[in-house]
C-alpha cells in the first residue's frame, strides 16, 4: 500500500519512557520521517549553513535555540516533503512552539494526526534510568550524566512543568491519546498502534 496521505505524529512522554525507541519503530512501520530538532540543528551546524552559523554559538553555550529559528528549521525540513509524513520526537516543548507548529502545518495542509502520550509512573522511570546507568557502568561504558537518581528526579519535575501545558493543549484539540508505557517494548508498541487506529 502506498502512503500518499499526510500524517503528523507528535510523541510525548517523560525522560526514560522509551519515546526514542518507539518513535523509531513507528517511523519504520508507518513510513514516517522521524524529526528530532536536535539532529536537525546539529546537521545544519555540520553543513555550516546560514542557520547553522546562527545556532552554533547557542548550542556551544548550552542555550535554548529561539522558537522562530526552530520553526524555520522545521519549515525547511518539511518544505519539499510530499506527502508530509513525520513523527516529532522532543518537539514541541512549549505551548508557544505547539501553536507555531500548528500554524506551519496548517499552511502545508498537514495538520497533526495524533499525539501519543507515553505514561510511566515516576518510580518506574527512575528505576529504568538508574538501571540504564548501572548497566553502562558494568559494561565499562561512560555513564550518562543524567543517569543518576537525583538528576532523573529533577528531569521528571522539569518535564512535568514544561509538558503539562502541552498535554492540555493537545488534549483540548482531541489529538492526545494515553498509552500505558509499562511493559515490554513490544507490548507498549502494540498499544501505540492500537491507539493510532
Question: Alpha-carbon distance 52 to 117, whole Å?
Answer: 31
Please indicate if the annotation marks 72 as binding a ligand. Answer: no
97 annotated ligand binder = yes
Residue 2, marked binder: no
Q: Is 20 annotated as a binding residue?
A: yes
Q: Is 154 known to sit in a ligand binding site? A: no
Judge whether 17 is annotated as a binding position.
Answer: yes
Q: Is 183 left (phi over 0), alpha (psi -120 to 50) or beta?
A: left
Look at the block and give the residue holding cell 508507518.
30
| 90 marked as binding residue | yes
Question: Is there a binding annotation on residue 132?
Answer: yes
- Is 19 annotated for ligand binding? yes
Cα–Cα distance, 38 to 88 (Å, whole number): 11
Which helix or strand (DSSP H or E) is residue 115 part of? strand 115-119
Say whether 63 counts as a known binding-site residue.
yes
Q: State yes or no: 75 annotated in a binding site.
A: no
Q: How far apart are CA 189 and CA 183, in angstroms?
A: 10
Q: According to the annotation, is 155 in a ligand binding site? A: yes
Binding residues: 16-21, 37, 42, 63-65, 90-93, 97, 132, 144, 155, 183
Binding residues for ATP: 16-21, 132, 183
Binding residues for AMP: 37, 42, 63-65, 90-93, 97, 144, 155
Amino acid at each position: 500500500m502506498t502512503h500518499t496521505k499526510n500524517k503528523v505524529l507528535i510523541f510525548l512522554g517523560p525522560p526514560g519512557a522509551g519515546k526514542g525507541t518507539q518513535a523509531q519503530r513507528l517511523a519504520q512501520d508507518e513510513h514516517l520521517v522521524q524529526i528530532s530538532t536536535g539532529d536537525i540543528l546539529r546537521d545544519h551546524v555540520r553543513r555550516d549553513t546560514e542557520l547553522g552559523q546562527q545556532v552554533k554559538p547557542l548550542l556551544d553555550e548550552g542555550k535554548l535555540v529561539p522558537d522562530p529559528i526552530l520553526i524555520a528549521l522545521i519549515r525547511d525540513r518539511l518544505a519539499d516533503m510530499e506527502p508530509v509524513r513525520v513523527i516529532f520526537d522532543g518537539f514541541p516543548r512549549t505551548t508557544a512552539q505547539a501553536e507555531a507548529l500548528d500554524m506551519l502545518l496548517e499552511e502545508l495542509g498537514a495538520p497533526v494526526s495524533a499525539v501519543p502520550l507515553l505514561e510511566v509512573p515516576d518510580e518506574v522511570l527512575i528505576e529504568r534510568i538508574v538501571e540504564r546507568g548501572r548497566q553502562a557502568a558494568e559494561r565499562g561504558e561512560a555513564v550518562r550524566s543524567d543517569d543518576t537518581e537525583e538528576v532523573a528526579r529533577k528531569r521528571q519535575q522539569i518535564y512535568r512543568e514544561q509538558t503539562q501545558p502541552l498535554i492540555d493543549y493537545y488534549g483540548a484539540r482531541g489529538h492526545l491519546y494515553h498509552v500505558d508505557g509499562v511493559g515490554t517494548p513490544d507490548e507498549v508498541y502494540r498499544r501505540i498502534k492500537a491507539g493510532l487506529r
